[in-house]
Amino acid sequence: KQEVTQIPAALSVPEGENLVLNCSFTDSAIYNLQWFRQDPGKGLTSLLLIQSSQREQTSGRLNASLDKSSGRSTLYIAASQPGDSATYLCAVHASGGSYIPTFGRGTSLIVHP
Amino acid sequence: DAGVIQSPRHEVTEMGQEVTLRCKPISGHNSLFWYRQTMMRGLELLIYFNNNVPIDDSGMPEDRFSAKMPNASFSTLKIQPSEPRDSAVYFCASSSRAPLSAKNIQYFGAGTRLSVL
């Protein structure tokens, strides 16, 4: 059974720092991996989706990398801002074609001015 | 577009009562998903519809849970009878593509916070 772990569970940093959020998964046979952002009291917003054949995806100040063989993905946030404060979740789809993603518990990020 | 609309935003009910959660997906989206989020279990996919047809309901926890999508603009998730352990935030999401497509982006509603006393 696929398990997804996110470390750290919580992070508090001053504005301007570059951040790395980690996501690890136990079964490397994945179809894709996706990073989401969740603001308090709201649903998820998709940030980046990496197919299993890809190594990384970039969007603005965000960069997500994928190392399928080691079961790891990282989300890099450059020059963090208070508006980045949210919970960040990763989710993987197994390569067997299941529609059911496995989510990590998330990293709660606070960027203070 | 108004995005995915869920109602009610909050629901408080007593054990044994029937609960119906509602979702209006984004117009033109043909995939719809119901999720449940709890502190204990995190975020879980309950059921996935494509073109109003349930494709995968393996995440539905028990027979007390049922979901319908009578048309492309409306879906319900029903719990009957409800139990305290059903307390959670239930999210609906929609997408214009199938879940495993390279461009799959799901748009989430704000969720319904359910408390069963």
Phi and psi angles of residue A34, each rounded to the nearest 5 degrees, phi first: -130, 140
Provide mean pLDDT across the span A46-61: 93
Nearest-Cα residue of chain B relative to residue A44: B108
Q: B30-80, pLDDT tens digit by residue?
A: 999 999 999 888 999 999 999 999 998 988 988 999 999 999 999 999 999
Q: Which chain B residues are Cβ-neighbours of A93 within 8 angstroms?
A: 99-100
Question: What is the CB neighbour count within 10 angstroms for residue B56?
Answer: 17
Portion of chain B with pLDDT greater than 90, in percent: 78
pLDDT at A41 over 90: no
pLDDT at B62: 87
Subunit contact A43:B4, Cβ cutoff 8 A: yes
Tokens 């801002």 correspond to A81
What is the share, in percent, of chain B residues with pLDDT greater than 70? Answer: 94
| Residue of chain A with shortest Cα separation from B9 | A41
Q: Give residue A31's region: left, alpha or beta (phi > 0; psi -120 to 50).
A: alpha
Q: CA A90, CA A56: separation in Å to the nearest integer?
A: 14
Alpha-carbon torsion (B44, A111, A80, A77), positive or negative = negative
Note whether B70 contacts A: Cβ–Cβ < 8 A: no
Of A45, A99, A106, the CB nearest to B100: A99
pLDDT number for residue A42: 87
> In the predicted model, is pLDDT for residue B102 greater than 70?
no
Q: Give per-residue pLDDT as tens, A22-37.
A: 999 999 988 889 999 9
What is the CB-side half-sphere exposure of residue B5 using CA atoms within 13 A? 7
Query: What does the pLDDT look like over B28-38, one tens digit per residue?
Result: 999 999 999 99
In one letter, which amino acid is A84? D
What is the radius of gyration, based on Cα positions, of chain A? 14
- B55 to chain A, any CB pair closer than 8 A? The answer is yes
Mean pLDDT of all residues belonging to chain A: 92
> CB distance A44–B100 less than 8 Å?
no
Kindly state whether B57 is in contact with chain A, defined as any CB-CB distance less than 8 angstroms. Answer: no
User: Residue with structure tokens 């490397």?
Assistant: A28
Tell the burial category of A61 from Cβ atoms under 10 Å away from its Cβ (0-12, 13-18, 19+). middle
Closest C-alpha among B8, B10, B12 to residue B117: B12
Chain B residues with CB under 8 Å of A97 CB are 100
pLDDT for the residue B103: 63
pLDDT tens readout for residues A80-113: 999 999 999 999 987 766 677 899 999 999 999 9
The residue written with tokens 């492309």 in the block is B72
Please check whether residue B2 touches A, CB under 8 A.
no
> Which of A40-44, A46-50, A86-90, A97-101 is the least confident region?
A97-101
Residues 56-75 on A with a CB inside 8 Å of B are none
Give the pLDDT of residue B6: 97
